[in-house]
Structure 1
Amino acid sequence: MGKQRVVVLFGGRSSEHSISSATAGGVLHAIDRDRFEVIPVGITPEGAFVLEEDRPEKFAMLAEAMPEVRDNGTRVLWPEAGGERALRVRQADGSLSEPMPIDVVLPILHGPHGEDGAMQGFLDILGLPYAGCGVLDSAVCMDKHFMKVVLRGAGVPVSPGFTVTAADWASSPEHVRTSAAQYPLPWFVKPARAGSSVGVSKVHTADELDAALSVAFAEDDKVLIEQGIVGREIEVAVLKGMPGEPSRASLPGEIVLTRDFYDFEGKYLGGEGVDLVCPADLDEQTMALVRELAVRAFDAVDGQGLARVDFFVTADGPIVNELNTMPGFTPISMFPQCWIATGLSYTDLLTYLVDNALARA
């Protein structure tokens, strides 16, 4: 049998463009080249689909030069719905490539226009198999407000807090301040539909709220104000089972902080005061409970691909902070590290995601 052809789709229009590009570097380096032929397709910050170079080192994560998909003049032409499952590329000089048949798309996109169901719907319309979650679970988990509504409905504990819109803040700022004051400090203020800690602030005193909301509203017109939770930060990776099989959870990992909170610098730029420990040092009962709750949360949102489920483990038990349906996926990120600790290598994890997508299709 010939190799299966995988489109690795990355970049995008969101503020997490560089994170997605860095993930692509890890994926291009680790994917099993004996089984798969790769077509790297980048999305520029302006939204153009371009044929990228198959060079993992081009997308290294460096604080002084964050990776980016740049417009090289090519344009990727997606297949017509119901037609031949093949891409074509229009070169910068206007010439058109021969059709390139494809088997599956691996969208490693973070944030709006990629992790929110938009790209998943586009691929559904074209009839292209793709790895990861579908339209509904992607959309629900991208919006932290609706994610919490769904989890509460399924009896999964979530962190206390409330949602405020830009219109609410503009018309009734005192009401928002009064509502926030019902919760013990510190508070976390976060955009409802962003990730990678972009736009997130920790509010230590009430007079810091206005500035924190300004930062969050720069990313989204819907924002969550949540009570800070005292507890260990535990994360569990979840994979959808093959058709007819249950979802499965990895061993949990722990984020051990000596900095104020797990911000963008700590996650991606090697900031001091962050250690990722996997497996986490938990007693057997707590370990079993967070794995069971992770699968319950994943199934509650009708998870179809993968997710990282983030917990605070408190003295009263675990609380789900959020689900990420395309979590950080660089080789050093928690999601692959949890699976490595569970016995699934980074390369085998990528293979599983592709095989799962083809099995579902």
Structure 2
Amino acid sequence: MTPSPSVVVVGGGTSDEHDVSLASAAGIASALDPARFTVTRLTIERDGSWSDAAGTPLTTADAVAVLLAADVLFPALHGTGGEDGAFAGFAQLLGLAAVGSPVRAGAIGMDKWTTKLVARELGLRVAAGELVHASDAAPRHPLPLVVKPNTGGSSNGVSVVRTAAELRPALELALADGGGALLEEFQSGRELDIAVLERADGSLLVSPPLEISTPAGGVFGSDLKYGGQPPFTVPAEINPAGLVALEQAALALFRALGCRGIGRFDFFLTADGLVLNEVNTMPGFTPLSQVPRMFAAARLSYAELVEELVLGALRPAPVTR
């Protein structure tokens, strides 16, 4: 490792989480100590083109030249075209170290239906539901339902369907990105998040849990997430046995998916126990986002969290056989 490792933080992207990604990238770049790291920012614009920190357009060749000169890449990219393993594969082909999960974990984690299959094999409970596409006949399920894009994020395109008349508009909204829609049985319970950090030495640290307080029967949507005062309680109050179950479920998913760096795991705590909601392999990463808030409760500051991820990416990936 060079005395002052160079880090390129990449934000933006072509998904509908472009603006959230820019906020994450800005926070990450600001958190890295300039006395310890040389930081450069690049942006992937909505159309897939590149620009530098000043907003000056770059050719793809120029952007790749910047990436190739770095010791490590920090892709703060959320959603499809980034978090789904696309950027991890790009970095791997370039032979570059990058923060976050490899292709397999990103691709599976972004696909909610496939994630449910993995979770079932691990013995974890998931909501009953089905994956539908635009060409499928109108599904029939007991109401209420949650309808959401199978590969979306930031709660974009998510609807709670309580009447038959609401189903078709909800499906059209969820199917708008072309990746299929997931219909799930509505879960009544507490909404809990927990995160796993792969530290620079390779050990795994589980965060304290966070509880999201949403209106009864509602969805934790973008207005609540990014409205300035997200309804979080951290650490969430949970009995010791429930906490152990939550931690073990998160670790099992992190390992089974092959995650690296960071992973956030969202659950419902129902009367019958934990039910997996979603997995995020590159979750929102502003100082006010869930993951930094959870690790702050474990006395790991935002700057320390970001540095752990960068140093961890510089550590060689484990060899799998």
2:277 aligns to what? 321
Question: Could you tell me how far apart the structure 2 residues matched to 1:34 and 1:320 are?
Answer: 41
Q: Larger Cα Rg: Structure 1 or Structure 2?
A: 1
1:87 aligns to what? 66
Question: Could you tell me how far apart the structure 2 residues matched to 1:279 and 1:117 are?
Answer: 30
Structure 2 residue corresponding to 1:231, chosen from 174, 189, 198:
189
Structure 1 residue 74 displacement after superposition: 2.7
1:27 aligns to what? 28
Deviates more, 1:151-160 or 1:135-144: 151-160
Question: Could you tell me how far apart the structure 1 residues matched to 2:49 and 2:169 are?
Answer: 34
Question: Could you tell me how far apart the structure 1 residues matched to 2:75 and 2:300 are?
Answer: 20
Question: Could you tell me how far apart the structure 1 residues matched to 2:181 and 2:300 are?
Answer: 36
Q: 2:205 corresponds to which letter in structure 1?
A: R
Q: Return structure 1 stretches of 4+ with deviation > 6 angstroms.
A: none
Secondary structure of 2:132's counterpart equals: strand
Structure 1 residue 219 displacement after superposition: 2.2
Structure 1 residue 77 displacement after superposition: 2.9
Q: Is the 8 A contact 2:5 2:38 kept in 1?
A: yes
Structure 1 residue 275 displacement after superposition: 1.4
Q: 1:256 corresponds to which letter in structure 2?
A: S
Question: Could you tell me how far apart the structure 1 residues matched to 2:223 and 2:114 are?
Answer: 27
Structure 1 residue 78 displacement after superposition: 6.2
Pairing 1:249–2:249 present:
no
Q: Is the 8 A contact 2:199 2:308 kept in 1?
A: no
TM-score normalised per structure 1: 0.83
Pairing 1:126–2:94 present:
yes
Q: 1:342 corresponds to which letter in structure 2?
A: A
Structure 1 residue 234 displacement after superposition: 0.5
Q: Is the 8 A contact 1:4 1:37 kept in 2?
A: yes
1:336 aligns to what? 292
TM-score normalised per structure 2: 0.93
1:192 aligns to what? 150
Question: Could you tell me how far apart the structure 1 residues matched to 2:258 and 2:92 are?
Answer: 17
Secondary structure of 1:167's counterpart equals: coil
Residue by residue over 1:53-83, the C-alpha shift from the partner in whole angstroms, topping out at 9 and shown as x without a partner, is 3xxxxxxxxxxxxxxxx6x333353698xxx
Question: Could you tell me how far apart the structure 1 residues matched to 2:70 and 2:90 are?
Answer: 16
Question: Could you tell me how far apart the structure 2 residues matched to 1:125 and 1:243 are?
Answer: 25
Residue by residue over 1:21-59, the C-alpha shift from the partner in whole angstroms, topping out at 9 and shown as x without a partner, is 111221122222221111101001011122123xxxxxx
2:104 aligns to what? 136
Query: Would the alpha carbon gap of residues 6 and 227 (structure 1) be closer, same or farther in structure 2, given more than 3 Å must change?
Result: same
Structure 1 unmatched ranges of 5 or more: 54-69, 81-85, 89-99
Pairing 1:13–2:14 present:
yes
RMSD of equivalent CA atoms: 1.9
Structure 2 unmatched ranges of 5 or more: none
Question: Could you tell me how far apart the structure 1 residues matched to 2:253 and 2:278 are?
Answer: 9
Question: Could you tell me how far apart the structure 1 residues matched to 2:58 and 2:105 are?
Answer: 32
Structure 1 residue 212 displacement after superposition: 0.3
Matches for 1:68-87 after TM superposition, within 5 Å = 72-75=56-59, 77=61, 87=66
Question: Could you tell me how far apart the structure 2 residues matched to 1:32 and 1:161 are?
Answer: 46
Structure 1 residue 153 displacement after superposition: 1.4
2:172 aligns to what? 214
Structure 1 residue 242 displacement after superposition: 4.9
- Structure number with greater CO (CA < 8 Å, separation at least 6) is 2
Q: Is the 8 A contact 1:141 1:147 kept in 2?
A: yes
Q: 1:253 corresponds to which letter in structure 2?
A: L
Structure 1 residue 243 displacement after superposition: 6.1
Q: Is the 8 A contact 1:6 1:102 kept in 2?
A: yes
Q: Paired residues, what number? A: 315
Q: Is the 8 A contact 2:50 2:57 kept in 1?
A: no
Q: 2:66 corresponds to which letter in structure 1?
A: L
